[in-house]
A and B are shown apart, each in its own frame.
Chain A
Amino acid sequence: MSLLTLENVTMKFGGLTAVEDVTLRVEESEIFGLIGPNGAGKTTVFNMVTGHYKPTAGRILFRDNEITALQPDKITRTGIARTFQNIRLFKDLTVLENVMVSQHHTIASNGKAVTWFFKSVSRLGYSEKEREMRNKALELLSVLGLEMLANEKSSALSYGSQRLLEIARAMATGATLLLLDEPAAGMNASETAGLVDTIRRIRDDFGLTVLLIEHDMKLVMGLCERIMVLDHGRTISEGVPAFVQKDVRVIEAYLGREWVTVGK
């Protein structure tokens, strides 16, 4: 049983086919990379998995349960959380609050939202749960090295820290599958190296599975255990990094046909 399965998924926007017939299996506790040139449809795949887009055709399964076109909040509650390519933090909230927001669904999911609403107004049985959430959030922040910044506004953080905070926030949802959309974008070389360690560490310590999109090939080749390459919405290659790196179709997609025939 794969953790996440995409079966022949297609996404069309009017006449434009962004993703065509993609089949993908992510196994439990692996780090899986999704790469491809700009506009290949990588983020579209993420948006379909997390329910922001409804696939035109195909099915998406998580732990053998179909999650195709569920609402994003429901999908998060089944255990998939994501970060965003263009950072989407809650800017006016503090770093700590950003992480605590993600735990809110654990107390206010489904029918319980109404009860929790009255609990919040009346403050009954409130502080204990709040303390629990706060402690868990602080723990996650220290895992990502952000505990010193807990009371800063999240918009005051550096770009690299904001990316890390997005990871902490996604982890706080209690998800077992993390979808990281270009986690290293905008980071310098040393930050990127730290990120590689961090992603490995959280995978091992928290038993997570990571599916990531990245353009930094050094990071991808060093970190991912398996890779899938998309081009123009189609899968052109899949396998371990060493295989993908040598695949003619991949080189062609990135560098052009002439490079393959003449360049060598």
Chain B
Amino acid sequence: MKKQTKIILTLIALPLIALLLFLSQELLNSYYSRIITLIGIYGIMAVSLTLVNGISGVFSLGHAGFIALGAYTSALLTLSPEQKEMTFLIEKLVWPLNSIQIPFFWATIIAGLVAAVFAFLIGWPSLRLTGDYFAIATLGFSEIIRIFALNLNSITNGALGLKALPDHTNVWWAWGWLLVTVACVLSLAYSSFGRALRAIREDRVAAQAMGINVFKHQLMAFVLGGFFAGISGSLYGHWLSTIDPRTNTFGILLTFNILIMIVLGGLGSITGAIIGGALFAFLSEWLRFLEGPINLLGFKIMGISGMRMLVFSGLFVIIMIFWPRGLMGRSEFSWDGLVSVFKRRYKR
């Protein structure tokens, strides 16, 4: 296929997606449009973790920590001073934060920057570790963030968390940021820089012997991953409209959920990450019917809570058996690939 054709197809596809999103807003009820928003948010989380775990080969388990940082940062910036006055019951919020309120967009940017700064501070010492050791270090970091959130009463409101966040996150914010994330990560991954990152993933020793400063490259990928994790945290917080440090919403479970998404989609594939995120959001909502009472051939089964996750894990195992490298493997979506899939179908 000619390069021009591909560009035209892409230029047609993007507004088409936008139109579909618009129609979904108009036609579907708010429950479905919320799920579509969630798909966008999961997409950002998965793509940013793909950059770190899939492309750079840095095995990070700290993603939820950056997401939580982003969520707290932007929430503290978008809540009105009056709301903060009412919410912070244990201790008063510290000075500059208690009297400012800025627009959602800038709050999200700042959330990303704060997460990126923390990613730098974590990555600087711990990227000298490799493999499992680095994973443990980042796991520890995300746990530290959680503990701080629970105890730093004058900033995070401790165990009470933050409530009644303004309902800013809609389909447009989520999918718009997803587009930005994908554009950045794609152009990075398919540049000389990304090639170097993939070389490091394949063979660290050889990459270094070819003149690549492994530490610096991995650190930069880690910081960019942290930035977009912070962005997704801001969106997620305003989607949930509460941040509760006692539950596992922003805890280690979130990291593992994102890991499931990117492994499901294919570790190292950016389009795979989005597909994985969409599938995860869709399945975990759709399978909810399993937890309600079911009428199965005349037998009434009472709802069993947790059944959803059981079936979900089963599905996950099945996918891993049939697609051991995930749905997309390491390849990306391409128009050529799509055409060849249809051709194969047609020949049969």
Asked whether A and B interact, the reply is: yes
Residues of A within 8 A of B (CB): 50, 52, 71-73, 76-77, 81-82, 84, 88-93, 97-98, 100-105, 107-109, 113-114, 116-117, 119-123, 126, 129-130, 133, 169-170, 172-173
Report the 9 A-B pairs with minimum CB-CB distance, sorted nearest first: A105-B211, A120-B191, A76-B211, A90-B202, A88-B206, A120-B193, A101-B199, A102-B210, A104-B196
* With A89-B206, A113-B220: A101-B196 Cβ-Cβ less than 8 Å: yes
Some 20 contacts from A to B, beta carbons below 8 A apart, are: A72-B208, A84-B206, A84-B209, A89-B203, A90-B203, A92-B198, A92-B202, A93-B195, A101-B196, A101-B212, A102-B211, A104-B212, A108-B193, A108-B213, A108-B217, A113-B216, A113-B220, A121-B184, A121-B224, A126-B191
**Partner pick for B202 among A82, A93, A122, CB 8 A cutoff:** A93
B62 at the interface (CB under 8 A from A): no
- Say how far B219's CB is from chain A's closest CB, in angstroms: 10
State A104–B208 Cα separation when bound (angstroms).
11
* With A93-B199, A102-B211, A173-B211: A120-B206 Cβ-Cβ less than 8 Å: no
State A82–B199 Cα separation when bound (angstroms).
16
**Partner pick for A73 among B193, B194, B195, B213, CB 8 A cutoff:** B213
State A27–B24 Cα separation when bound (angstroms).
72
User: Do A120 and B211 touch (CB < 8 A)?
Assistant: no
Grouping DSSP codes into helix (H, G, I), strand (E, B) and loop, the B interface class, with mixed when no group exceeds half, is helix
User: Do B209 and A50 touch (CB < 8 A)?
Assistant: yes
B184 nearest in chain A by CB position:
A121
* With A105-B212, A121-B184, A121-B187: A90-B192 Cβ-Cβ less than 8 Å: no
Chain B residues closer than 8 Å to A120, beta-carbon distance:
187-188, 191-194
B205 at the interface (CB under 8 A from A): yes
Interface centre among B203, B210, B217, B330 (most CB of A within 10 A): B210
User: Do A104 and B193 touch (CB < 8 A)?
Assistant: yes
Interface centre among B191, B206, B207, B209 (most CB of A within 10 A): B209
State A126–B190 Cα separation when bound (angstroms).
11
Chain A residues closer than 8 Å to B207, beta-carbon distance:
90, 101
User: Do A104 and B211 touch (CB < 8 A)?
Assistant: yes
User: Do A88 and B205 touch (CB < 8 A)?
Assistant: yes
A97 nearest in chain B by CB position:
B195
Chain A residues closer than 8 Å to B205, beta-carbon distance:
52, 72, 84, 88
- Say how far B123's CB is from chain A's closest CB, in angstroms: 14
User: Do A101 and B213 touch (CB < 8 A)?
Assistant: no
Chain A residues closer than 8 Å to B184, beta-carbon distance:
121
State A136–B15 Cα separation when bound (angstroms).
39
- Say how far A37's CB is from chain B's closest CB, in angstroms: 25
User: Do B188 and A81 touch (CB < 8 A)?
Assistant: no
* With A73-B213, A90-B206, A101-B212: A116-B199 Cβ-Cβ less than 8 Å: no
Chain B residues closer than 8 Å to A105, beta-carbon distance:
210-213
* With A89-B203, A113-B217, A121-B184: A129-B211 Cβ-Cβ less than 8 Å: no
9 extra interface residue pairs, beta carbon distance < 8 Å, beyond A90-B206, A121-B224: A81-B210, A82-B209, A88-B205, A90-B202, A90-B203, A101-B199, A101-B210, A119-B191, A121-B188
Chain B residues closer than 8 Å to A133, beta-carbon distance:
192
State A73–B209 Cα separation when bound (angstroms).
5
User: Do A73 and B198 touch (CB < 8 A)?
Assistant: no
B214 at the interface (CB under 8 A from A): yes
B202 nearest in chain A by CB position:
A90
Interface centre among A89, A113, A170 (most CB of B within 10 A): A113
User: Do A108 and B198 touch (CB < 8 A)?
Assistant: no
State A130–B211 Cα separation when bound (angstroms).
17
- Say how far A93's CB is from chain B's closest CB, in angstroms: 6
State A130–B330 Cα separation when bound (angstroms).
22
* With A50-B209, A72-B209, A76-B209: A108-B196 Cβ-Cβ less than 8 Å: yes
